[in-house]
Amino acid sequence: MQLQLYQVRYFLALARTLNFTQAAKQCNVTQPALTKAVQKLEQELGGTLIHRERHLTQLTELGKMILPTLEKIFAAAEAVR
């Protein structure tokens, strides 16, 4: 498994906003780039993190379960900087 910090950052923004467009804006990337990064993170973790519906985006059970761990990882990486 090879998680990239940018994937974690994008997922965290998406988890906060539950909106791909808003999360992409927060991360200063295009929406397709954010979507691809989150999909790659899902592949790395072996499951769907985000339930995508037309106008309703929600965290899956796996997304909810992994969120605190990814928040800690990101906070630790930021502290090192």
- Region for 28 from its dihedrals, namely left if φ exceeds 0, alpha if ψ lies in -120 to 50, beta otherwise: left
pTM above 0.85, yes or no: yes
By the 8 A CB rule, do 20 and 57 touch? yes
Task: Write the DSSP string, 21-76.
Answer: HHHHHHHTS-HHHHHHHHHHHHHHHTS--EEE-SS-EEE-HHHHHHHHHHHHHHHH
Question: Could you say which DSSP state residue 81 is in?
Answer: -
Report pLDDT digits (tens) over 19-57.
Answer: 999 999 999 999 999 999 999 999 999 999 999 887 889
Question: Could you say which DSSP state residue 18 is in?
Answer: -
Domain holding 38: CATH number? 1.10.10.10
Band of pLDDT at residue 80, cut at 50, 70 and 90 = very high
Note down the domain range covering 50: 5-80
Domain tally, the chain: 1
